[in-house]
Chain A
Amino acid sequence: MTKYITVIGLEVHAELKTKSKAFCSCSTEFGGTPNTHVCPVCLGMPGALPSLNKQVVEFAIRVGLALNCEIKPYNKFDRKNYFYPDLSKNYQISQFDKPICEHGHIDINLDGVEKRIGITRIHMEEDAGKLNHSGASISTSDSSSVDYNRAGVPLIEIVSEPDMRSAEEARAYLENLKAILEYTDVCDCKMQEGSLRCDANISIMPEGATEFGTRAEIKNLNSFRALVRAIEYEVERQKEVIEKGGKVVQETRTWDDANGKTLSMRSKEEAHDYRYFAEPDLVPVDLDEAWIERVRAELPELPAQRQARLMEQFGLPKYDASIIVASKAMAEYFDEAVKNAQDAKGVSNWLLGDVSAYLNNEGISISEFKVSPAHLAELVNLTKEGVLSSKLAKKVFAEMLKEDKAPKALVKELGLEQVSDEGAIMKLVEETIAENPQSVIDFKAGKDRAIGFLVGQIMKKSKGKANPGMVQKMLKEKMQ
């Protein structure tokens, strides 16, 4: 059977976090009553003239620099012409042949292997309005209602090179890109709300081929899971087409998440005749070196730099650091907690373990996590100091999830202080030895399991509060 190579490129649209729209002063606020953030410009009234929001250019430069792009000094806007009700002017203001950024890259790391994914270009454009269908879906509706609140909200489109070879590489690229957009504070990156959207160009070619196969463009990928599933489905679909002697058609397909399929939307050749031309209502943008250099100097710490810092400053393993920095909010939580903690790796263990498990389970993000960084640090310290065994620390943590109380107070309230008093532990050791003569004989005969059993018995007697290290040591000494 022929082996195939998958080729993937991603087009990511990110809504910029400006206060006002790209070409008019309407608010960019999400939601609200339809058609309440609109004016003659974004409604496409005849004679209304656009005027460019400076912050849009600033954000585009910032992202371009963070993604290692060349920033092009000469910029102009173009009209992309097509008819669709969500487009009030019947054209979208975009950038065609002179994008603001070109030739960038993101380095991804999968199972310890570094790979560089090229970024072809980044351009500025405006978002379209939103169609609300009267029926359950577009095909079963008699009519639609158009809301232009989103029309004119600034976007950047980030186009990658077709450098990815698997769904996992595509996911890693998108995760890295999302983190960078969060760190540079240009986008909310809420995939469910549509402030970060992803389209995937997917093709396959036989191993050894020098030319890419015909690609399909997959739209409507509004989660990481959808991206991975859609790529896996699409690759199998294209293989089947080819194995049956057919040809893959160049087309736009939409991801149907409920049924786990991609469906054909329209043939690309027919619909994509956009007749771009220079937007006559906007003058060109000339970026001087000073502007670009100022933005470069003001760039915040980026995920890769932060990861290196966490490894160097706190001695975190690369794996821990990479997971913590993948989310800006998680990295900030770590930085806050570690200020008060005696053990950075301890903080990391909690974040990657029980905290992440809890967040996943509740379906919330760390910014909605009720336990304060200071309290998590205190819990880490209580374990480090030997006041709490790791088992009891979990018990305290469970209480903290119910109510964000200081762990020290909870330890007292629940009577959970670890017993490290020699006399008290010796009493338990002696009692247990007396009750289990056979285990003592087994231990002396060299059966290691016996000691584990005896420690377990002592811990049970102490309701988990005895210091396990001391129990082990004193038990051994007593039986010698």
Chain B
Amino acid sequence: MKVSAEEVKHIAQLSRLTVPETEMQIFTEQFNQILSYADIMQKVDTTGIEPTPYVLPITNAFREDIAKPGVSHEAALSNAPAVENDGFKVPRVLE
């Protein structure tokens, strides 16, 4: 499996990262190195084997529906770069 510079650009955009044109070549090569490593795994014959997203034999870890206080309002906002109207201030959002 190989990705193109176009796909790397798309992934960068989804991740809200700016990748300069000059570095696109390096990133594409690095992506492909990682993917070729994963190719080794792809060679294993997995016919008849169910997908295994979880390796631990644990299911049904539940919490009862009881509300408890979280952190204080002040603590919640203490790491915010900017605060406005009791909320996390963010630049205007437009798609």
Contacts and interface: CB of A to CB of B under 8 A. Distances in A.
Contacts, number: 135
Interface stretch (A29-37, A170-178, A434-442): A29-37
A57 B62 CA distance: 10
Interface string B1-45: 000000000100011100000000000000000000000000000
Nearest to A26: B70
B60 interface: yes
Contact of A18 (B56, B59, B62, B65): B65
B67 A35 contact: no
Nearest to B59: A286
Interface residues of A, number: 56
A38 B74 CA distance: 11
A144 B93 contact: yes
A278 interface: yes
Query: At the interface, is chain A mostly helix, strand, loop or mixed?
Result: loop
A138 B94 contact: yes
Nearest to B57: A283
A55 to B, nearest CB: 4
A26 B71 CA distance: 9
A360 interface: no
A51 interface: yes
Nearest to B10: A273
A284 B76 contact: no
Interface stretch (A39-47, A364-372, A406-414, A453-461): A39-47
A27 B16 CA distance: 32
Given A20-B65, A25-B68, A35-B76, A138 B92 contact: yes
A26 B70 CA distance: 6
B69 to A, nearest CB: 8
| Most chain A CB neighbours (cut-off 10 Å) among B10, B69, B87, B88 | B87
A68 interface: no
B67 A283 contact: no
Interface in A268-286: 271, 273, 275, 278, 280, 282-286
A283 B56 contact: yes
A147 interface: yes
Interface centre among A25, A83, A278 (most CB of B within 10 A): A25
B76 A38 contact: yes
* Most central of A19, A53, A81, A145 by chain B CB within 10 Å: A145
Given A40-B71, A141-B92, A35 B59 contact: no
B57 to A, nearest CB: 9
Nearest to A58: B65
A36 B65 contact: no
A284 B67 contact: no
B14 A145 contact: no
12 contacts: A18-B65, A20-B68, A55-B64, A131-B90, A132-B87, A144-B92, A145-B84, A147-B87, A273-B10, A280-B53, A283-B54, A286-B59
Given A145-B87, A146-B87, 14 more contacts: A19-B65, A25-B63, A25-B66, A33-B86, A37-B70, A52-B61, A54-B62, A55-B64, A132-B87, A143-B92, A266-B95, A271-B95, A278-B53, A280-B54
